[in-house]
Structure 1
């Protein structure tokens, strides 16, 4: 997580990179695709800049990396240890990473029950159809999920968070320094909701003190909304 003094600098940097005219750069692009072994039960990704998509599919199960760079390609790796698929993006080097000339865009297609951990610096993260546990962290980048059902932890310094659940999750824990947070839960579920933000939360579902499903939402600057899915 960024400190409160640094989130504004990060946000301005992200805006500046998004607005850069890359047509003057000699940009290269390449693709890498590999299968996810059937023995994998957990995916852990550590990355820098780009984007991350995680999608539940019946098969085939695979990872696609799209690298965009101006000089040397990003240094990425993947390995399986003890049922966990580790994905690592080390970037292209300090100079290329700093001026936005390096990004890795992941598309991860896996069984819906897998647990997924993602930690990235500047990248939006999208998760679709996963019912396993999620732990998503971005310094700068939106976090969006649809068709979810598992325990979820989402943390961002700058970026919107939008989570939509197809089934009542055991727990949801969101920390968002700057950005709106929206959580949509099945109306038939029972929840213990604790939402706090300077802007004032809008909670449109009953909060039951003895409910097993704990929904904890925190934001320093940004609206919080809890509503039926």
Structure 2
């Protein structure tokens, strides 16, 4: 009798393992979605807030489509073994707040979402992301990005920048005149293509690297535990101000090659 029970338990356990492996393999990545959805939302005013949860984001400033609207492309893959079917939602609230959500909970839940948001020129954008990386490019107007858990990467941008990651790296290759970038846990890497008026870069636990065009700068650099290397020309009366701080990590401030 004991051998029969043991054999049945082993068979049941094996079936569960196979089922779990099968379901887990079905989740996949949002990148595997070959038929993404598209939707256009009306936008009023000159500002847009992107409020995202559990999704990778790509925010793009665009020229060639109707003003007063935002185009969104959505990729999604997901599965839940026991529980409600996973789903994603999108809506424009109060005419200027784009809310993106993914609901994926239950036993063996495996979901992945990605959104690309195309914003017309002349719109200032604020991104509030709970969980997911954020990439942005092409902005001439003010851009603010904050993510609780994920990296931030901005390129091809000239407008004022404010970038913040609670847990993740921050990178920017831009020509903005004013940049504020920080993270509690991760590195900060800034490459400026134009002489800035003000740069503030900080990390709680990670290195900070700033590359600047040739000019004289008023520099403040401090590390609680790490090396500090400032090789740009320094002038305490310069109108170009650079501040770099970290509690634990190295700091490098240098001119571009």
In structure 1, the partner of 2:57 is 52
- Structure 1 CA distance for aligned equivalents of residues 89 and 231 of structure 2: 43
Q: How does 1:99-110 map to 2 (within 5 A)?
A: 101-110=110-119
Shift of 1:53: 0.8
- Structure 1 CA distance for aligned equivalents of residues 242 and 185 of structure 2: 19
Shift of 1:22: 8.7
Is residue 156 from structure 1 mapped to residue 169 from structure 2 by the alignment?
Answer: no
- Structure 1 CA distance for aligned equivalents of residues 189 and 22 of structure 2: 33
Once structures 1 and 2 are overlaid, which stretch shifts more, 103-112 or 123-132? Answer: 103-112
SS in 2 for 1:49: coil
Partner residue of 2:145 out of 131, 136, 145: 136
SS in 2 for 1:59: coil
Is residue 33 from structure 1 mapped to residue 42 from structure 2 by the alignment?
Answer: no
| Unmatched segments (≥5 aa) in structure 1 | 1-20
Runs of 4+ in 1 over 6 A off after TM superposition: none
Shift of 1:26: 2.6
Shift of 1:158: 2.5
User: Which structure has the bigger radius of gyration?
Assistant: 2
- Residue by residue over 1:171-201, the C-alpha shift from the partner in whole angstroms, topping out at 9 and shown as x without a partner, is 3222212222111223544545544443345
Partner residue of 1:79 out of 74, 77, 92: 92
In structure 2, the partner of 1:176 is 183
Q: 1:39 to 1:46 in 2, by over 3 A?
A: closer
Over the aligned positions, Cα root-mean-square deviation in angstroms equals 3.3
- Structure 1 CA distance for aligned equivalents of residues 158 and 109 of structure 2: 35
- Structure ranking higher on relative contact order (CA contacts 8 Å, 6+ apart): 1
Q: 1:81 to 1:105 in 2, by over 3 A?
A: same
- Check conservation: 2:131, 2:148, Cα contact below 8 A: yes
Is residue 66 from structure 1 mapped to residue 75 from structure 2 by the alignment?
Answer: yes
- Structure 2 CA distance for aligned equivalents of residues 112 and 210 of structure 1: 36
Q: 1:224 to 1:150 in 2, by over 3 A?
A: farther
TM-score between both structures, scaled by the size of structure 2: 0.64
Partner residue of 1:89 out of 100, 103, 114: 100
Shift of 1:164: 1.7
Once structures 1 and 2 are overlaid, which stretch shifts more, 69-78 or 204-213? Answer: 204-213
| Unmatched segments (≥5 aa) in structure 2 | 1-20, 199-217
- Structure 2 CA distance for aligned equivalents of residues 102 and 75 of structure 1: 10
Q: How many residues are treated as equivalent by the alignment?
A: 203
- Residue by residue over 1:89-124, the C-alpha shift from the partner in whole angstroms, topping out at 9 and shown as x without a partner, is 33214547xx76233211112234322222223311
In structure 2, the partner of 1:120 is 129
- Check conservation: 1:197, 1:220, Cα contact below 8 A: yes
- Check conservation: 2:93, 2:99, Cα contact below 8 A: no
SS in 1 for 2:154: strand
- Structure 2 CA distance for aligned equivalents of residues 22 and 102 of structure 1: 14
